[in-house]
Structure 1
C-alpha cells in the first residue's frame, strides 16, 4: 500500500514537533525505601518532521512504547527516545512522561502512616546525537505569610503551595531527595493523615517558619546550587492565597 505520509510536501515548511499526546502506559520507578514502585504515566511523544515529508507515522510511536516490555523504566527511557529518532527518521525526538509517585509518610507526633502522592515528570530529548533528560517533581507544602504574622495581633494567614522543581543531573538523584529538600525549606510539609496532636504541631511549626513565595524559591535554589550532581535547575512556587482571589508566584532558573 502507498505510504501517504512519505509523499513530498510542496509547502517546504518543517515541523518542530509532531506525534501523539496523552497515551497511558505502565511505568516502573526506583523507590528509595521499597526498591521500586509501579504506576501509570501519561505520555507525550514527538519528533521533528523535515520540510520534504508530508507527515509522520503515528502508529510507530505506540509500537515503540509496547516494544519495551510491558513497563517503561528510567533505565529504558533514553533507549526509547533514541528509537523514536531512528524509526521515524527524525533529527530530534522528545518523550514526556507524567505520573503520580507515592510515599508512605508518618505523622510528626502520632506516627500514624498514610500515603502522600506527588506529581513527577520525566522529559527526554535527543537531537544532533546529544541526549538531555530532565526530572520534575511538584511538591505540595504549607507556606505562612511573614507580613501577616508581623502585623497581626494574633494568628497569621497561610496557604497551600505547589513547589515545582526540575533538574538535569550528571549523577543519580532520588525523587525522594528532591521532595525532602523542598519540604525542609517550606513553612511546613503536608501529610495525608493527622491526629489532633499532629495538627497542633504542624500549625505551630508553620507559624515559627514563615516564608514569602520569594523565600521559598530562593532557599530551594541555594540547596540545588550547592549540589554538585545538578547541572541545571528551575524552581517555582505558586501559593494559593487564602485571603486573595489570586495566587502568588516566583521562579528561578539556573544553568550551572
Structure 2
C-alpha cells in the first residue's frame, strides 16, 4: 500500500526567503523554438531565440521555471506587438508577478524581385520583439535590422572617378501602440539607403545597383537622419531608436551613428 503522505511533494520555490532581497528578472533564456510570426502575406514560420523573465518579491524564494515553457508551448497564434501584450499578461498571471520581460529574436524572410531582371530571391532580416512590464505598464518594441548599401559622399566628391561603398546595417527599434508590419519597417530603411541589397542579381541588376548607389551617396549620419524622418511620419510609432553601422571598405573599422526620439516628449 502506498503512503499518501509520500506523494505530497514540497513546493520549495513558493517558500519564504528571509534575506529580503528582491530580484528584478528571473526566468529562462537560451530557448530556441519554432514560432509563427505575423506578416503581410500571412503567418510565417521561423525559429526564435527566447528569453522570459518575471520580477521576484523579496520574501519569495523562487519562481516556477516550468511555467514559462508551458506558456510558450501553448501559443499557436502568430506573434506580433499586440500578441506580445497578451503573452505578457498571461505570464504575469501564471507566475503571480507584477513585472516581466519577454524577448524573441528571429530571422524574417521576404521574397524580393531584382530591380531590372526581376529575378526572385529570398532575403533574410533580423527582427527582435520585446515586451516589458514595469509599474503596471507594458511597453512593446519591434526592432528590425536591414542590410543596405551606402556610398561615401566625400569619396565621390574628391575622386576623379568612382567612390568607395560598403554594406551597412541599419536598424529601427520602434515602441509601438499597435501592430506595425515588419515589411514596412524594412521598406523604411531600404528607401533611405544609397541602394538596397538583393540575394540574387544578374549583370543588368549589378549595373543598376552600382549606378543607383553612385547617384545616392550617404554618410552614416545621413542614414540615421533620413530613417528618423520616416519614423516621425508613422503615427503607430511612439518612440524610436535608429542605428547605422557602415562596415567600411577602406578602413579596418566601422562608422557608426545612433539617435533616439520620443514623440511624446515633444507633444504639446
TM range (shorter): over 0.9
State the match for 1:224 in structure 2.
231
- Once superposed, what is the RMSD of the aligned Cα atoms? 1.4
Cα distance between partner residues in 1 of 2:62 and 2:39: 40
Are 2:53 and 2:102, in contact at CA under 8 Å, matched by a contact in 1?
yes
Match status 1:17 vs 2:28: no
Conserved 8 A contact 1:137-1:165: yes
Determine the structure 1 residue equivalent to 2:122. Answer: 115
Unaligned runs of 5+ in 2: 1-8, 264-268
Q: Does 1:196 align with 2:203?
A: yes
Higher Rg: 2
Residue 163 of structure 2: which of 134, 156, 160 is its match? 156
In 2, are the aligned partners of 1:238 and 1:247 still within 8 Å (CA)? yes
- Distance apart, 1:189 and its partner CA: 0.4
Corresponding residue SS for 1:124? strand
- Map of 1:64 onto structure 2: 71
What's the offset of the Cα at 1:109?
0.6
Which of residues 174, 183, 201 in structure 2 aligns to 1:176? 183
Dislocated runs of 4+, deviation >6 Å: none
Aligned mate of 1:124, from 120, 124, 131: 131
The counterpart of 1:73, out of the listed 54, 76, 79, is 79
Aligned to 1:213: 220
Could you tell which deviates more after superposition, 151-160 or 76-85?
76-85
Q: Deviations over 1:166-197 (max 9, x none)?
A: 11223432111111111010010000000011
Deviation of 1:133 after TM superposition, in Å, equals 1.0
Q: Take 2:244 and 2:175, find their aligned partners in 1: how far apart are those partners?
A: 19
Contact 2:84 2:130 in 1 (8 A): no
Selected match of 1:139 from 146, 154, 165: 146
* Length, aligned pairs only: 254
Instruction: List per-residue Cα deviations over 1:118-142 (Å, max 9, x = no partner).
Output: 0111111223432221111001001
Q: Structure 1 121/5 Cα, relative in aligned 2: closer, same or farther at 3 Å?
A: same
Greater shift, 183-192 or 163-172, is seen at 163-172
| In structure 2, distance between residues paired with 1:255 and 1:217 | 15
- State the match for 2:13 in structure 1: 5
1:76–1:221 Cα change, 3 Å: closer
Report how far residue 113 of structure 1 moved. 0.5
Alignment partners' CA distance in 2, 1:54 and 1:146: 59
SS at match of 2:118: coil
Q: Deviations over 1:25-64 (max 9, x none)?
A: 22222222x2221111111101111111222211111011
